[in-house]
A and B are shown apart, each in its own frame.
Chain A
């Protein structure tokens, strides 16, 4: 009996420590990413970006964050109060769940679940739901339009996303992250499944509402889209969730297609796995930012046609071919 209590104690301790680390990490990561985005934007547009606070403006987002915390929380008079308050919380909680199963290193997974990969996609639907709730509860036409666009886009791009991921799952025969990464010790899946990797990355850009797929918050037509009415830290939570979501899709891409904690072709150069993992994830994040400042926003009908008429058939075909090849080998 004592032993059982001790193991369950260790289990809970592990979970709580994991959660604390995840909370701190997600905040720091978002702070860093916002700074990086402004820097990347600046340099792409041949200017310097933030330079005033800290070395190369590194502390700029912390100052901005403090300003956000100090701002007044405004609830529009005709808004649905309960839903309006719930939405920012709902958008951030599922994001944290994803960290439970992400494989940062061989021993750095909080819970290596049997359905790890599916769990991330299950909870990612909740952030779209939160956007919809927030947009509806604001009682504002721009917010509502942004929310509806967001759902239409998420529904359309989730299908090719899951289909492209499935072709990798077929090769490994598991949803468990550790097995998915272990299978790439020699060859990364990006070389075996280039089409799936490309489709995944396009859909991930759309899922995180990033340009060129940022029509849910298109500034030039919708003011600020679904978060028009949000101020202060409630807006901050939406923002935080967006950047953490970016990290998650890139981390999933790293572990599915770019070998996770493995070095290229089985050489690790004595660098610990977690460093490899984070390095690859941040390179992908940089590419995601690069997209934003390179491609113009697509029109809504182009966006829909591209998903339903190009990406879905293509990913379906890719899945069928993968299954056929696996059967024949």
Chain B
């Protein structure tokens, strides 16, 4: 049963990811992104990482909602819809090269890590709020702090950009 659910989630994630990159309507793409993220959350839940699954939903559903708003407000939907850039070929070439490099890198890294631990026993507390919090603030403290500094920089940058625009409009 669990295997069946796993495959259902996998197929769902891949299909919705494909839909996201192939559709020409920005809002549909955003919705497919939500679907992909939700299926990934389902996969996390299958791995017993309930907290991560729930956080995935909270963060991405909320973030994509804002993305959605940007699509509505910034793009002139009627005109931009379905209109591709002029040098399509180079864009496609660049995309293929980048994705290719990424894929090779992933395969190399995965080979280095070694064979996956098959069916390792998971202890009772795995994936609980306490366990994840504990790990974040002890073992993975440095990456956690770096990520938060990065996010802080992004927030400050956004505020400065927005503020400049408000000042300009007033002048």
B17 within 8 Å of A (CB atoms): no
Asked if B27 and A136 make an inter-chain contact with CB atoms under 8 angstroms apart, the answer reads: yes
> Does A83 belong to the interface (CB within 8 Å)?
yes
For the residues of A in contact with B, the DSSP-based class is: helix
Question: How far does the alpha carbon of A126 sit from the alpha carbon of B57 in the complex, in Å?
Answer: 9
Please tell me if the beta carbons of A114 and B62 are within 8 angstroms of each other in the complex: no
Q: Which of A51-59, A117-125, A315-323 contacts B (4 or more CB under 8 A)?
A: A117-125
Listed stretches A127-135, A197-205, A218-226, A249-257; interface member? A127-135
A119-B54 in contact (CB<8A): yes
Contact indicator A122/B27 (Cβ below 8 Å): no
A175–B1 CA distance with the chains assembled, in angstroms: 28
Known: A8-B1, A80-B27, A83-B27. A129 touches B129 (CB 8 A): no
Contacts of B163 in A (CB 8 A): none
The 8 A CB mask of B45-72 against A (1 = contact, 0 = none) is 0000011001101100110111011001
A122-B54 contact given A80-B25, A115-B129, CB 8 Å threshold: yes
Is A325 in contact with chain B by the CB < 8 A criterion? no
B10 contacts A by Cβ under 8 Å: no
- Beyond A115-B50, A129-B34, whether A123 also contacts B57 by CB under 8 A is yes
Q: Is A148 within 8 A of B65, CB to CB?
A: no
Q: B34 — which chain A residues lie within 8 A by C-beta?
A: 129
Residues of A within 8 A of B58 (CB): 118, 121-122, 125
Would you list which residues of chain B between 66 and 85 have a CB under 8 Å from chain A?
66, 68-69, 72-73
B66 surroundings in chain A (CB, below 8 A): 151, 155
Contact B57 A133 (CB under 8 A): no
Quick one: CB contact mask for A3-15 with B, threshold 8 Å, 1 for yes?
Answer: 0000010000000
Q: Footprint of A on B, CB under 8 Å?
A: 1, 25, 27-28, 31, 34, 50-51, 54-55, 57-58, 61-62, 64-66, 68-69, 72-73, 127-129
Which A residues fall within an 8 A CB radius of B?
Answer: 8, 80, 82-83, 86, 113-115, 118-119, 121-123, 125-126, 128-129, 132-133, 136-137, 144, 148, 151, 154-155, 158, 174-175
